[in-house]
Chain A
Amino acid sequence: MSARPIIEISGLTKIYDLGQVKVPALRGIDFKVLEGSYTAIMGPSGSGKSTLLNILGCLDRPTDGSYRIGGDDVSTMSDRQLSRIRGERIGFIFQSYNLIQQLDVVENIHVPLFYQGKDINSYREHCEKLAELVGLSDRMDHRPMQLSGGQQQRVAVARSLANEPLMLLADEPTGNLDSKTGEDILEMLDKLHGEGRTIVMVTHDDEVAERAERVIHLKDGLIDRDICVGKQVAATPAPTSEADVGEAKKVRFRVKLNRGEKD
C-alpha cells in the first residue's frame, strides 16, 4: 500500500524580523506526513513548536523553504488563497476549543462549511451527523456556554471534520481538560485515526504524545528527534542540518527512515 504524503516540508525556515535583531524560530526543517498517519510534535518552549504549528496551519508563511499540503506549495500563497486552503484542507482543534459563543452546536460545526460557500440549510443534516458522531446528539441547539469543556472540545472535533479536511491539526487538545475528559478526546482522536484520518498534534505532554505513531521533537528550531512507532510509516527526509544536532539522538522507540522512502 502506498500512502500519499499530505505534508511535505523541506528546508523550512522562519526568521522573525524584529527590526534590530532577526530571531530564527525554524532553521531548516524537513519532514513528510503521510496520509492516515498520526504524528505528535513536541518540544520545549522556544523550540519553534508554535511557529511550526502556525505554518502547518497555513496561518503563517515560512521565510524560506517549501511547504506542500496535498501537493500544493502554500509557502508563497496570498492571504486569500491561504484562507481557502485552511478551510478546505485543515481541521483545527484548539486547546481552548474556540467555539463561537453566539452560535449553537450545529451552527458551530457548520462554520468551516459556511466559508466554503455551503449553505447551512443544505448541510444541516451533515452537521447533525457530526454532532452525533461526537456524542452530542441531545445538545445540538445548545450554546457553548451551556456545555462543559469536554463537550465543547467534542464540538470542536466535529467542526474540524466538517469539511472532510486532509488533516486534523490539534494544538494541545487536552491542555484545558481534566485527565478523564482529556482521555475521552484522545480516544476520539484514536478512533478517527483508526478510520484513516491524518492527525498532526502539537503537545508538550509525553503521555499524550505516546498515543501517536510518530513523535517529532523540536529543539532550537530544528528537528531533534523523529521517532516512529507502530506499523505506519513516516517518511522523513534526513535533516540537512543533522550534523548540527547529531548527538541529540537519544531514542526510546526509533524507526528512522531516509529521504524519499514512502512505503
Chain B
Amino acid sequence: MPGFSVLRVIQVGFKSLHLHKLRSALTMLGMVIGVWAVITLVAIGEGASQDAQEAIKRLGAQNVLIRSIKPLDQKTQSQGFSFTSEFGLKNADATRISHTIPGVKRVLPILQQRKTAVHGRSEVDCQIIGTFPYYPEFTQARIVAGRFLTESDEREKTWACVLTVGMAERLFTGQNPLEETVVIREERQGSKVFRVVGLIEERSTADKMPQDEDPSGKTIEDNIYIPLSTMKGIFGTLDVDRSAGNYKAERVELSEIRVEFHDAEQVLSSLPLIRDSLNKGRDGVKDYEIRVPLNELNALKQQKERDTRMLLYIACISLLVGGIGIMNIMLATVTERTREIGVRRALGATQNDIIVQFLIETIMLCLLGGMVGVMGGWGFAEFRHHILEITTIVKEWSIIVAFGLSGMVGVFFGLYPAIRAANLDPIEALRHA
C-alpha cells in the first residue's frame, strides 16, 4: 500500500473517531491513565532516588566514614553511675590510616561535643565541631559569608568560629553575625569567647554531620565549627552530659574520621586494611563503626532498579487494562460499522485494506491517548517539581517506553477486531442493518 494511502487512512480514521467523540475520548482514557501513570510514577521514583543519591554522593563515593561508638559493655557499666567512659577513635588512628593505607588522599578528623552557645540573651544548644580547614570540601558545604577556618587558625589555635546559617539565625536574630562574639559555655574550664569569621550552609539535612542523638531522641542541627587544635586545647576530650539528673561523662578523642581516597574504585578493596589498622591495639573492643557511602549508593541503585521494575509492571498492567478496554470498544465498533465494511468491500477494498483501516484507527486511539497521557504525566511532574518543589524528574526513556507501549497495545489489541472486520462476509455485511 503506497504511503499516501496510509495518510488517507489516517485522515479517514480521524473522521471516524470524530464521528463518535465521546466514545473515542472514553476509550482513550484507559491509555491516558496508563501512560500518565508510567511517566508520573517513574518521575516521582526518579526524583526521590536522585535526592537520596545526591545526599550519599555528597558524603562522597570516594570517602569512608569512621565514627566512634560506645562499646556495648561500657554502656551497661555507665548505667546510673558517675563514671567516665573512654572509648573511640584516637588521633593516632587518623595518622596511621593516612600514612599506611594506599590510595588515601587525605584524612579529616572531627571532634564534636554538645555545648550551649550564648550571645547576648540568646542561648542555643548546639554542636561544637572541631575540625580541619578542608572540612567544607568533604561535605561540600557552601560558604555563605566570610570564610571558613584556615590553616593558621588551626596552627595558632585561634578563637575563630564558623556558624551554620540556621545557628546564626537563632543566635543573632536579624543581626549580622560576622565579627561578633559567641560565648560557649563550659562548666569545668569556664566559658570561652569566639569570634565569628564566617557562615556556611550544609547542602541538605541529609548530609549534615552525622549527629549524636540527645537523650530525648532529637538531633541538634545547629553547628559551630572551630579549629580542632583550639577545641582540644580548651575543652579537652571529655564530654559531660548532665541531662535528666544523670551525670555521664565520655572521653572521646575523635568523634569521627573521614577518609578520602583518590578514586572511588579503591574504596571497597581498602576496607579490610582500614579495619586491620583500627583493630591494632584495640584488643577486640569494637568502639567504631565504618560507613561506606559507596556501598549505600550501590544498594540504593539496586533498590532503584527493583522499584523501577515494579513501576513498569504496574504500568504494563494498567496499559493492558486500557488495551482490553480498547479491544472491547473496537469489537463493538466493528459490529456497528459492519455495513460500512460491506460497502467498502463491495467498492474494491481487500481484506488487507480493512485490516489496515481498523488497525490504524486502533493505533491512532492508543497513540492519541498516549499523547494526552504524556502531556498530562509530564505536566504533572513539572508541576510537582516546580510548584510543589518535590524533586520529580521526567525520564526520556519513560516517555519513549510509555508511548511505544501504547502503540504496541494498539497493534496487539487492534489486530483481533481488525481481522474480525476483514473476515466478515461482504454479502452478510451489506445486508447488516
Residues of A at under 8 Å CB distance from B? Answer: 54, 57, 59-60, 79-80, 83-84, 86-88, 92, 94, 98-103, 107, 111-112, 114-117, 119-121, 159, 163
Whether the pair B348, A87 counts as a contact (CB closer than 8 A) is: yes
Indicate whether A94 sits within 8 Å of B430 (C-beta atoms), given known contacts A84-B350, A112-B348, A114-B5.
Answer: yes
Residue pair B340, A101 in contact (C-beta under 8 Å): yes
Kindly report which residue of chain B lies nearest to residue A160, judged by CB atoms.
Answer: B347
| Contact A102-B19, Cβ < 8 Å, known A114-B8, A115-B348, A119-B4 | yes
CB of A79, distance to nearest CB on chain B (Å): 6
Contact residues of B: prevailing secondary structure: helix
Q: Which 3 A-B pairs have the closest CB atoms?
A: A87-B348, A115-B348, A102-B15
Write out the residue numbers on chain B whose beta carbons fall within 8 Å of the beta carbon of A100: 340, 343-344
A102 to chain B, nearest CB (A): 4
Q: Specify which chain A residues have a CB less than 8 angstroms from the CB of B15 in the assembled complex.
A: 102-103
| B271 CB-CB contact with A under 8 Å | no
Q: Is residue B346 within 8 Å, beta carbon to beta carbon, of the partner chain?
A: yes
Can you name 21 A-B pairs with beta carbons within 8 Å?
A59-B345, A59-B426, A59-B430, A79-B351, A80-B352, A83-B345, A83-B350, A83-B351, A84-B348, A86-B347, A86-B348, A87-B347, A87-B349, A92-B347, A94-B343, A102-B18, A102-B19, A111-B344, A111-B347, A112-B347, A115-B348
The reply on B2 being an interface residue by CB < 8 A is yes
Contact with A along B1-33 (1 / 0, CB 8 A): 110110010001001101100000000000000
B285 close to chain A: CB less than 8 A:
no
A119 to B345 Cα, complex, angstroms:
18
**Quick check: A120 and B8 within 8 Å, CB to CB?**
yes
With the chains together, A218 CA to B132 CA distance in Å? Answer: 111
Q: Are B346 and A86 in contact (CB under 8 A)?
A: yes
In the complex, what distance in Å separates the CA atom of A87 from the CA atom of B344? 9
- B19 / chain A contacts, CB cutoff of 8 Å: 101-102
Residue of B nearest to A99 (CB): B343
B51 close to A (CB within 8 Å): no
A107 to chain B: which residues have CB within 8 Å? 12
Contact of B346 among A59, A102, A114 (CB under 8 A): A59
Q: A83 contacts B2, CB within 8 Å?
A: no
Q: Which of A59, A88, A98, A101 contacts B427 (CB 8 A)?
A: A59
Q: A59-B427, A84-B350, A103-B12 are in contact. Are A117 and B2 (CB under 8 A)?
A: yes
Contact A159 B347 (CB under 8 A): yes
Q: Which residue of A lies closest to B11 (CB)?
A: A120
Determine whether the beta carbon of A98 is less than 8 Å from that of B343.
Answer: yes
Contact B347 A102, beta carbon cutoff 8 Å: no
Determine which of B5, B343, B427 lies in contact with A54 in the assembled complex, contact meaning CB atoms within 8 Å.
B427
Question: A92 with B427: in contact, given A102-B16, A117-B5 (CB under 8 Å)?
Answer: no
- Neighbouring B residues of A101 by C-beta, 8 Å: 19, 340
With beta carbons under 8 angstroms apart, the residue of A54, A59, A79, A98 that contacts B339 is A98
Most chain A beta-carbon contacts within 10 A, residue among B16, B18, B350: B350
| Contacting pair B346 A115 (CB below 8 A) | no
Complex Cα spacing A119 to B4, Å: 7
**Nearest B residue to A89, CB-CB:** B348
A103 CB contacts on chain B under 8 angstroms? 12, 15
